[in-house]
Amino acid sequence: MTNIRTEETHSHSISKHCSFENQLTKNRMMLAAFFLMSLIFLGLPIQVRAEETLATVNNKKITQADLDWMFQYRQISEDKQEDLRKIYLEKLIDQELIRQFLKKRKIKVDSDHVAAQIDIIHKKIIKNNKDSEKVLISMGLDKKKLEKKITRDIQWNNYILKKANSVVLKKYFQDQHEYFDGTMVQAKQIFLKKPADKNETRKLFLKLEGIKTKIESGSLSFSEAAKKYSQAPSANKGGDIGTFPYRGEMPVELTKIIFQIPVGKMGDPVETRYGVHLYKVVKKIPGELSLEDVRHSVLKQYSNKIWIETVKQLRLKAKIRY
């Protein structure tokens, strides 16, 4: 049986601000370079299809070729593309909305900065004895497209850095410090595997709700219930899944549920991609990391938050046609 633990498992100066901006951009460019190099190493074929229009975003076309490239860029195998088609088309729509948003606000970008990042990508390709121009073109990234992508990434970084002043970032950190400061949680779980028939999932919820009621009534303890009902390896330990931080050891989709439960309490049954869970938090160990210790992680999460919120607002007014 799969091991559930493993699966679950303003700046103070101008120079400091600039240094941090460079680090953020560097990390994003490194990620972009990683995807590019992954495709090069794997030798994945790039299929050029007809420019069929899949959607328009304020009259800007998103084509089948755009979606094909997105699949290759994210290394989505052909057998999964049909199931993920809708999800990745929506991602492309989101990206186009953000591109238009940044263009309208005329976020400035240093052309030398863009050129430097493009040069890094070219050097990485050449280092592996490849013709960088041919490789990028084969991936749908001619000079113009590559420049536009790098420019958009840097524009977004600059936009976020302008919004995330010292006051905003400090408040964001304080409001959810447990997610960043190294706070550890010890928890127990009762886990029921997801059935092959999705219609049976409701029965699992009802079963866990019944188990929770028995625990609350005192007719059996959480540990006893875990040993009796849980289908996770932790069952023989009374459901104890150990102590862990918000990030690093278990999927965030699980820790974001667990960290919201008060110490000594059980949450409600929840469904994840793994199955249905009932959690109890045994204790929390406060973390000691400061904002300065985890500034990059905080800014990254703040950037994701603003992206989601911005896209949500843009979609309300945008003319999106499929």
**Res 6: pLDDT:** 34
DSSP character for 266?
B
Alpha-carbon distances of 307 from 30, 99, 212, rounded to whole Å: 20, 11, 38
**Res 39: pLDDT:** 45
**Residue ranges of domains in the chain:** 15-174+297-321, 184-285
**Res 40: pLDDT:** 45
In this prediction, residue 33 has a pLDDT band, given cuts at 50, 70 and 90, of low
Any alpha helices (H) in 128-231, and if so which ranges?
132-138, 143-163, 166-175, 201-217, 222-229
Residue 3 scores a pLDDT above 50: no
Q: What are phi and psi of 75, to 5 degrees?
A: 55, 50
pLDDT tens for residues 218-263? 999 999 999 999 999 999 999 999 999 999 899 999 999 999 999 9
Residue 274 scores a pLDDT above 50: yes
Q: Is 157 in contact with 17 (CB distance < 8 Å)? A: no
* Mean residue pLDDT across the chain: 85
pLDDT tens for residues 40-71? 444 444 444 547 999 999 999 999 988 988 88
Q: 242-248: list long-range contacts, CB under 8 Å, 24+ apart.
A: 242/5, 242/186, 242/187, 243/184, 243/185, 243/186, 243/285, 244/9, 244/184, 244/185, 244/187, 245/182, 245/183, 245/184, 245/185, 245/287, 246/178, 246/179, 246/180, 246/183, 247/179, 247/297
CATH code of the domain occupying 15-174+297-321:
1.10.4030
pTM (predicted TM-score): 0.72
Residue 151 scores a pLDDT above 50: yes
Strands 60-63 and 53-57: antiparallel
Task: Identify the helix (H) or strand (E) that includes residue 301.
Answer: helix 295-317
Q: Does domain 184-285 have CATH number 3.40.630.10?
A: no
